[in-house]
């Protein structure tokens, strides 16, 4: 604890001076309770992350947190402190891991109803706790107003079906790449199903889609996949309750909390360390899709993880295109045996 209540200067106090009995009650009953049940999240040591509420200084207690004062002078029971510790507010209940015992509640109720006496303290304006640079933050690309962007020069205007394609073709040309031909029906179904569900289409779905030549077939396919309870919808709802949080802390790590899909009580922290190159790639990839890094991890990285888990169940080994090519080349390699392989071959053939 950075500051103890006993050390605070007795300088200012607008409320009536507390009696010795009130102060004794605070020091012997209330303060130990705050230390035991609250300081882990609300102290100068834990920092301002939890509602900017600091409970290990009298000034902090008097000032309250980001929701204002904890006390209601005229109607003590309506004050925020008693609201949250009695779990009357469904959205804000403290402590979050379980209600205080009846005896503990009684101590705080008595203290609040008796005027919430505190040792005298120096009233100071609440420290500015936010470190966000709002001026700099407003320059972020997603906060910029929409404005027309001139189309880049391209080599093959015939390829462009809509203005957005111009940018795609320009970027491909810049990297000396040529566009793939349009995907056939089976390929299109496979890609869309993998993208939206993380699983391949079934043979029946393939037959139905290939046979459906109507102009709305793709639109219907997307609607069906988005509406799928077992796959995309479930993934989205799961992620919504996961509170999948991503932070780049000191620019080097991702912190994520994953919850088991079926049991909300199992919460396991997952720390992924990223090197600078990986982090940059992740940021660039998210930028290409015009989505946040969090959304990129949710929709691409997690989808890929689901795909690999599903594949493992089917004994299907997933390889990236580069890995597939390397594997294919290795499969074509001539069967020249190493001395070790010759020895193993001899054992296989029954030689001792």
Partner 1 sequence: MSGVVLPPGFSLEPLQRTQPRRHFDCGQSEVNDWLHTKALQHQDKRLSATKVLLAGDSAIAGFYTLATGQVDFGDLPSELARKLPRRALPVAILAWLGVSVAHQGEKLGDLLLAQSLRDCYEAGQTFAFVAVILDCVDDRAKSFYQRWDFAELPGNPYRLFLNSQTLAAMMRS
**Footprint of partner 1 on this chain (CB under 8 A)?**
180-181, 190-191, 194, 200, 311, 314-328, 330-331, 333-335, 337-338, 340-342, 344-345, 347-352
**What torsion do the CA atoms of 181, 187, 191, 192 make, to the nearest 10 degrees?**
100
Q: Which is nearer to partner 1, 86 or 311 (CB)?
A: 311
Q: Which is nearer to partner 1, 11 or 183 (CB)?
A: 183
Q: Concatenate the DSSP letters of all residues of 284-306 into one string.
A: HHHHHTTS-HHHHIIIIIHHHHH
Question: Closest by alpha carbon to 253, among 268, 271, 235, 270?
Answer: 271
Shortest separation between residue 313's beta carbon and partner 1, angstroms: 11
Shortest separation between residue 25's beta carbon and partner 1, angstroms: 56
Shortest separation between residue 304's beta carbon and partner 1, angstroms: 12
Q: What letter does residue 5 receive in the DSSP assignment? A: G
Rounded Cα–Cα distance for residues 70 and 64 (Å): 5
Q: Which is nearer to partner 1, 106 or 346 (CB)?
A: 346
Shortest separation between residue 76's beta carbon and partner 1, angstroms: 59
Residues facing 254 on adjacent strands: 248, 272
Q: Concatenate the DSSP letters of all residues of 24-52 into one string.
A: HHIIIIIHHHHHHHTTTTSSTTT-TTTTT
Shortest separation between residue 352's beta carbon and partner 1, angstroms: 5
Rounded Cα–Cα distance for residues 262 and 237 (Å): 11
Q: Which is nearer to partner 1, 64 or 201 (CB)?
A: 201
Q: Which is nearer to partner 1, 275 or 314 (CB)?
A: 314
């Amino acid at each position: 604890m950075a500051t103890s209540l006993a050390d605070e200067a007795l300088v200012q106090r607008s409320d009536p001076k507390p009696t010795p009995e009130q102060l004794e009650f605070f020091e012997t009953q209330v303060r130990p309770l705050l230390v035991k049940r609250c300081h882990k999240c609300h102290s100068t040591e834990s920092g301002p992350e939890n509602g900017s509420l600091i409970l290990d200084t009298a000034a902090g207690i008097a000032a309250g947190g980001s929701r204002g004062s904890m006390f209601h002078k005229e109607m003590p029971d309506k004050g925020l402190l008693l609201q949250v510790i009695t779990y009357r507010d469904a959205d804000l209940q403290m402590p979050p891991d379980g209600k205080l015992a009846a005896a503990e509640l009684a101590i705080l109720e008595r203290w609040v109803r008796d005027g919430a006496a505190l040792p005298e303290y120096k009233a100071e304006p609440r420290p500015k706790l936010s470190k966000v640079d709002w001026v700099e933050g407003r320059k972020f690309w997603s906060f910029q107003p929409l404005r027309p962007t001139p189309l880049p020069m391209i080599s093959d205007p015939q390829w462009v079906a809509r203005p957005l394609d111009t940018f795609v073709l320009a970027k491909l040309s810049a990297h000396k790449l040529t566009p793939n031909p349009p995907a056939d029906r089976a390929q299109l179904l496979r890609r869309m199903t993998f993208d939206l569900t993380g699983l391949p289409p079934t043979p029946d779905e393939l037959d139905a889609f290939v046979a459906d030549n109507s102009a709305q077939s793709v639109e219907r396919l997307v609607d069906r996949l988005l509406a799928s309870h077992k796959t995309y919808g479930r993934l989205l709802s799961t992620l919504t309750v996961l509170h999948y949080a991503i932070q780049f802390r000191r620019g080097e790590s991702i912190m994520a909390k994953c919850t088991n899909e079926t049991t909300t009580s199992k919460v396991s922290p997952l720390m992924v360390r990223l090197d600078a190159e990986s982090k940059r790639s992740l940021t660039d990839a998210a930028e290409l899709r015009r989505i946040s890094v969090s959304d990129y991890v949710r929709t691409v990285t997690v989808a890929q993880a689901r795909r690999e888990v599903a594949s493992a169940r089917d004994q299907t080994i997933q390889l990236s295109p580069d890995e597939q090519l390397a594997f294919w080349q290795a499969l074509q390699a001539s069967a020249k045996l190493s001395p070790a392989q010759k020895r193993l071959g001899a054992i296989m053939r029954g030689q001792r």
